[in-house]
Chains A and B, each alone.
Chain A
């Protein structure tokens, strides 16, 4: 069985079916991208892996752990950390405090300090603004902070929900490079994106999600060349 294995999962919000027989997997060390339009179930999939939504059918197993049986905040301690859609920076708290909160479940203060320093080295802009309120940062800086904050938690599996949303093209590239750098240092990544072009550039493998189920899958390069993906998600060049 794969490191992360999601099999035939259904998720309902009330009577609305958000995921329908969803299956996908992720091996340790990979970057896997989930592509799809609004309402396809991308965020729901991440929240499933984060333990925030529960499946009504199917299984989601990670590293031998049944994700449906652990409370969301405890999964963070196990090593699954999500960078949520819209970044959700703690806006009136300082950059430094935001990073410290990322280490809430890390017991060693020395490890937290070390990871915060590491985040500052990766993202020097954050170091310059460490005493500024998070809400005063630009969109790109907030995204960097959201990723930095997640990294302080020491994730084994990092989940990113639309990290490119609302960012200028140059900033999108920087964020993607950052994700790649994080992956090179050993963190597995599951990234959800509408910006298929940006995501496929860094992803080892990708899935296309439509109305709560996987419609296509392949390596990043395969999908980038697939006419159906080009047509639907890459602007049909």
Chain B
């Protein structure tokens, strides 16, 4: 039982990291960024490139190395996210919603098959492992890799929460999500704030990608596809557009999957997740935290 919960929370913290970017972008420009899962994949590959370029680095796989690789991958994915918004989404800001959505799908394919061109279709071994003795938790065990990755995810999310709730720029992000015109009248540079949202969301997804690589041991060009859909599911469960909703939604989805796999069988995992998505969309489209519907005057 404890093991099921631990596994669920672990997978859920990945989902939450990716769901955050989904939800933040939706919050500010009402776009379902289907390329978001591929930024996660891209982050993993940036990590792979660094680890391959410095072969000695991954061997001694310690926490400082993981942090360094994480940091560089986050910066790189952040900038790619900003670039995608600039090139593909910003010119369509006033176009019909559907046009941007299709562009996002196109962007997703571009990233997937661009990476496939460079690295080939087969999975690549990830030369970074976090090793150490497993940690007993009640009657279950948490591997040290799981522990480290969960702590990193929790720290990233806590940092984001503080940033959005307490800082001037965080307030500006919440403001443009509510009313862009009024935000301009407060002196907020809306374009720059949107870029910042893409940077942060993409950096978190990139971090998730490196962590997935380090945990599962291999990466491939389609690894972002399913997680993108899962993150979308998590964002919907939590209430899309809501920051804490995305975090909670990720954890809930992780737990649901973990219990679902145990009771129904592993091969039903994705069926189970997407059934949850459909149930939520049908019965509670505003999600767990999405009770506050913002009415504009």
Contact = CB atoms under 8 A, between A and B. Distances in A.
Contacts of B297: 86-88, 91
Contact of B190 (A73, A89, A90, A135): A73
B186 interface: yes
Interface string A122-150: 00000000000001000000000000010
Nearest to A87: B297
B174 interface: yes
A50 B171 contact: no
Contacts of B190: 73
A100 B187 contact: no
B187 A90 contact: no
A104 B182 CA distance: 12
Contacts of B184: 52, 72-73
A82 B185 contact: yes
State which size class the interface on B falls in: 20 to 34
Interface residues of A, number: 28
Contacts of A92: 178, 292, 294
A88 B295 CA distance: 11
Contacts of B171: 93, 97, 100-101, 104
A91 B294 contact: yes
Contact of B182 (A88, A97, A100): A88
B175 to A, nearest CB: 5
Contacts of A76: 185-187
Contacts of B292: 92
Nearest to A142: B297
Given A91-B295, A101-B186, A84 B181 contact: yes
Nearest to B165: A97
A102 interface: yes
Contact of A88 (B179, B187, B189): B179
Interface string A97-115: 1001110110000000000
Contacts of B296: 91
B170 to A, nearest CB: 10
A73 B175 CA distance: 14
A135 B293 CA distance: 11
A81 interface: yes
A90 B179 contact: yes
Contact of B185 (A81, A93, A135): A81
Top 3 nearest A-B pairs (CB, nearest first) are: A76-B187, A105-B187, A88-B182
Given A81-B185, A92-B292, A100-B171, 9 more contacts: A92-B294, A93-B175, A100-B168, A101-B175, A101-B186, A102-B186, A104-B168, A149-B186, A153-B186
10 contacts: A76-B186, A90-B175, A90-B178, A90-B179, A101-B172, A101-B183, A104-B168, A104-B186, A104-B188, A105-B186
